[in-house]
Each structure stands twice: as C-alpha cells, then as structure tokens.
C-alpha cells in the first residue's frame, strides 16, 4: 500500500503539570511537569497525543508524494502505522482507510494556508456558556474586568508632543453622522414583538443580496454587493435562526442572494428547543438570543481560497468580509429604528452541526441579530452619546 502524510499537520510540544505525592514526600513541590507531543490537523475535533517516534516518522513524510509503506513497516512497526492511519495522520490508498483519505482530500480541495487552518480549527467552541463563566468570574462589569486583569492599556496612543500635532478641520455633521451616532449594540430586545417581514427583508436585501452579476469566463461569475469583498469573491453565506418574523415559521433558513429568497432547512425541535439552540449559538448571551432573528455569517472558504490558494492572507480576508457585512447590517438596522448586534463569542461547532456544515469547508465566524428594542434596559448597554437610553416615548 502507498501512503503519505495528511495535508496539514502541526506538531505541538505541550507541557502539562500534575500533582504527585511521591515528589512532595521526597522534598519537591509536588507539582511535576512533563512535555508531550500533540498532533493538530484541521479535520480533527481535538489535538491527538503522539509520541516522539510518531513525530520523527511524520516529520520525514511528504504531504504530497505517495510512497510504499513496506520500508516504514519494517522500520517503525505495522502497529504504529495502523494507529497513525486510523487517526488520519497518515493517509493510505487502501480501502480500509477510505474515510480518512476522503476527509483529507476534501480539506486539500479548500486550499487552506496550513497555519490558518489549524488556528481556525482549534479556536472553535462547542457547548460553552461564556456568559455564565464571565459572570461567575465577576468580569461582567468594567470594574470586575479591571480587578481581574489590572489596569488596561491606555485609551489613546500618544506618539509625540501635543504641540506638534496638526489639527484637522471638523466636518459639518450630516444625516449619516446622526445615523452613526445612533448605532449602539443592542442587548435589550422586545421578546414579544414580531419583526415585520418588510423590515426583515429590507435588512437582508441591503446586506446580503446580489445587486448585480458580472460574467467573468465560463462558469466564473462575480457578484456585486453593498459591502466590499476581497477579490470580489463574496464567500460569506447567511444562515438564519428565525423566531419571530411575520410570515416565517420559526426555524432554520439559508439565504439565496441572487433570488432574494430563504431556503428552509431541517429543524425538528420545538420552539423551546430552537430558543435553547439560539442561546447556545451565542455562548449563553441571552440578551443576544432574545432577538427575533439571528444570522450566522459563514464563509465558504473554497470560494476565497480558489483565488488565493494556500495564501497566508486568505483567512484574514475571510474575516474582513464578516466585518464589512456586519457593519452594513448594524447601520441598516439602525436606520430602520431597530436594535442590532454582532458577536464572535459563539459556539461554532454547535452551529455547524445544526446547519449541517463541515468546519474546514464552511464555518461561522460571527453571529448577528436584529429586531425591535425593549422599552426598558435590563442588561447594561454602552451608549455614551445617550441616543438610545433612556428610551423615548413611542
């Protein structure tokens, strides 16, 4: 059989510490540190423990060239090769290793830059209630943060004497300035109000719809949208969690940007289960999951990486895409008198499972939401201009 190394692999020397009574009794501190190796690959849910012989073997193999496994079995043993093949660190051409080979082939087809792929895989959350953990640690207030972390870095960067600065003329405020001043992350949604379909469609169309198409060559089409996108590739898909939108059944949807239409996706749970998933999606931040609609911003990585193959900046461009879209969404919602938010504190793995996504093919980088604000503020919001709170009578 012929084998090669998996497409992307990062071997990490990791130090772990554990208490050992024998060390304490012999005059030590009782805390013994050991260094072991972990193997990271984007298609793994977690890092895999490997030993030094595995590291030497994997480090000598090409991720591109296939070689006969006979000399490897003779030198390292058949059992070691089987373990690495079963894990997917080694890729074999035999039928027994077809599943691992197909996963590796699919990852290769995305054209990830290796370090970006590993960073993306290892920074995803699953089942984390981040809001509860922050509250329990007393870090849900500015004072709590300062007590925990110490003084923050300066608010402003001073790079020279003040009297040498060139003062610039102030712009004459326009309606756009007023709109920007009104934008404030909403943490208090009206949990009973139903968002009108007209308002919902307005936000979705302005943010995600295709405003035009350009035929490049053969099957290469480029879209025009309201937000910029690296290389005009527009890789980000919009996956919706709908709770209270006029004319839409609660559930999961995918948006078709050319037809300006929603595709219902399978959801067999109750409304209560949908609300529980919505809260899980945003890491337990109930003030965000209270919104009548949430949208996961999900890049199709191959759409970007087809043009920027194995490029060290390609993942950064995908992240920028999310930032552009979210700003357009927040400003559009503000113009309509709606509250809106974006958060990257999300459980990516749970969102992927609900929408049927593969992490290295499509994966959420952030979640936005929008809807009608509540009349009272129960969760603190940062609104230094006081354009939102206190709420004005309707």
What's the whole-model pTM score? Answer: 0.91
pLDDT classification of 122: cutoffs 50, 70, 90: very high
DSSP β-ladder status, 67-68 and 48-50: unpaired
Residue 24 confidence (pLDDT) above 70: no
Per residue in 125-178, pLDDT (tens digit) is 999 999 999 999 998 888 888 888 999 888 888 989 999 999 999 999 999 999
Residue 382 confidence (pLDDT) above 70: yes
Measured CA to CA, the distance from residue 59 to residue 61 in angstroms comes to 6
Measured CA to CA, the distance from residue 350 to residue 113 in angstroms comes to 24
Residue 389 confidence (pLDDT) above 90: no
Residue 180 confidence (pLDDT) above 70: yes
pLDDT classification of 380: cutoffs 50, 70, 90: confident
Residue 32 confidence (pLDDT) above 80: no
Per residue in 46-103, pLDDT (tens digit) is 999 999 999 999 999 999 999 999 999 999 999 999 999 999 999 999 999 999 999 9
Quick one: pLDDT at residue 291?
Answer: 98
Per residue in 220-243, pLDDT (tens digit) is 888 999 999 999 999 999 999 999
Quick one: pLDDT at residue 25?
Answer: 72
Beta bridge partners of 37: 13, 50
Quick one: pLDDT at residue 12?
Answer: 95
Cα-flanking dihedrals φ and ψ of residue 223, to 5°? -105, 155
HEC string of the chain equals CEEEECCCCEEEEEEEEEECHHHHHCCCCCEEEEEEEEEECCCCCCCEEECHHHHHHHHCCCCCCCEECHHHHHHHCHHHHHHHHHHCCEEECCHHHHHHHHHHHHHHHHCCCHHHHHHHHHCCCCCCCHHHHHHHCCCCCHHHHHHHHCCCCCCCCCCCCHHHCCCCCCCCCCHHHHHHHHCCECCCECCCCCECHHHHHHHHHHHHCCCEEEEEECCEEEEECCCCCHHHCCCEEEEEEECCECCECCEEEEEECCCCEEEEECCCCCHHHHHHHHHHHCCCCHHHHCCCEEEEEEEEHHHHHCCCCCCCCHHHHHHHHHHHHHHHHHHHHHHCCCEEEEECCCCHHHHHHHHCCCCCCECCCEEEEEECECCCCCCCCCCCCCCCCCCCCC
pLDDT classification of 29: cutoffs 50, 70, 90: confident
Percent of the chain with pLDDT strictly greater than 70: 99
290 within 8 A of 204, measured Cβ to Cβ: no
Quick one: pLDDT at residue 393?
Answer: 63
Quick one: pLDDT at residue 129?
Answer: 96
Calculate the average pLDDT of the chain: 93
Per residue in 306-332, pLDDT (tens digit) is 999 999 999 999 999 999 999 999 999
Quick one: pLDDT at residue 141?
Answer: 84
């Amino acid at each position: 059989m012929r084998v090669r190394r998996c497409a992307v692999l990062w071997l990490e020397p990791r130090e772990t510490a554990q208490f050992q009574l024998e060390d304490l009794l012999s005059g030590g501190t009782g805390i013994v540190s050991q260094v072991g190796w972990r193997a990271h690959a984007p298609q793994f849910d977690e890092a895999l423990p490997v030993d030094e012989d595995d590291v030497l073997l994997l480090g000598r193999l090409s991720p591109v060239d296939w070689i006969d496994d006979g000399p490897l079995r003779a030198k390292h043993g058949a059992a070691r090769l089987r373990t690495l093949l079963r894990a997917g660190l080694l890729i074999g051409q035999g039928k027994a290793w077809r599943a691992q080979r197909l996963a590796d082939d699919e990852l290769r087809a995305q054209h990830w830059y290796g370090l970006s792929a590993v960073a993306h895989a290892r920074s995803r959350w699953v089942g984390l209630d981040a809001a509860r953990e922050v509250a329990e640690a007393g870090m849900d207030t500015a004072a709590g943060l300062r007590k925990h972390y110490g003084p923050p870095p300066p608010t402003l960067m001073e790079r020279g004497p003040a009297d040498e600065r060139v003062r610039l003329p102030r712009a004459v405020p326009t309606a756009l300035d007023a709109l920007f001043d009104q934008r404030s992350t909403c943490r208090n949604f009206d949990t009973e109000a139903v968002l009108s379909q007209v308002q919902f469609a307005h936000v979705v169309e302005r943010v995600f719809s295709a405003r035009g198409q350009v035929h490049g060559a053969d099957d290469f089409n480029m879209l025009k949208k309201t937000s910029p996108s690296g290389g005009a590739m527009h890789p980000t898909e919009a996956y919706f969690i709908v709770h209270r939108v006029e004319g839409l059944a609660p559930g999961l949807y995918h948006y078709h940007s050319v037809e300006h239409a929603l595709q219902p996706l399978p959801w067999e749970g109750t409304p209560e289960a949908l609300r529980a998933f919505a809260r899980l999606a945003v890491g337990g931040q109930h003030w965000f999951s209270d919104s009548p609609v949430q949208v996961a911003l999900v890049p199709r990585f191959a759409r970007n990486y087809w043009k920027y193959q194995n490029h060290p900046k390609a993942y950064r461009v995908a992240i920028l895409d999310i930032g552009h879209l979210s700003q357009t969404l927040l400003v559009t919602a503000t113009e309509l008198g709606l509250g809106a938010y974006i958060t990257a504190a999300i459980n990516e793995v749970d969102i992927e499972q609900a929408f049927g996504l593969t992490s290295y093919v499509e994966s959420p980088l952030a979640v936005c939401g929008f809807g009608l604000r509540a009349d009272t503020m129960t969760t603190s919001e940062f609104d230094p201009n006081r354009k939102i709170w206190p709420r004005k009578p309707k």
